[in-house]
Amino acid sequence: MSSTSTTEPRWFIHNLARVHVSGEMTGDRMAVVESVGREGDMPPLHVHHREDETFYVLAGRLTLFVGGERIELGAGECANAPRGVPHVYRVDSPTARWLAICGPAGFDRFLIAASDPAPAEALPPADAPVDLERVGAAAAAAGIELLGPPGALPE
């Protein structure tokens, strides 16, 4: 097992992301991914069937919708989205930066499969097309079920 991160920045949906701790580094016990997104960013509504996902906000503001709960988070705050519970986040500041801490690992491999190397340490263009078929296939392989389009909320 390697003890250092070597993953380069990635364009993941509409975010800039970097895997800091991979499953390969931890014997698949956990993974840590840092993401940056712009205001209004919301991924597709989804549920993780294999791992819990904890969001820790480093800068800016996120709203996390977990099941029927709405959780507003600012820098230094965190919340958990347990496996099996539909969830989605929304960036509520001009930009936000957060960690997704997942256990066990797997989200890190999904991110790599569904993203492209970033040509620069910057967000992808706001109007960049997203290949939802590719994202969906990578999600299914990682035990993540897409439940709705970007902007959909759990009931």
For 56-92, write each residue's pLDDT tens digit: 999 999 999 999 999 999 999 999 999 999 999 999 9
Instruction: List the chain domain ranges.
Output: 10-119+131-148
- The pTM for the full model equals 0.92
Alpha carbon dihedral 109, 115, 118, 119, in 10-degree steps, equals 130
The token duo for 127 is: 């109007």
Compute the C-alpha angle 149/153/155, nearest 5°: 125
Task: Provide the CATH number for the domain formed by 10-119+131-148 in this structure.
Answer: 2.60.120.10
Dihedral sign (CA 150, 96, 58, 24) = positive
For 98-113, write each residue's pLDDT tens digit: 999 999 999 999 999 9
In this prediction, residue 151 has a pLDDT band, given cuts at 50, 70 and 90, of confident
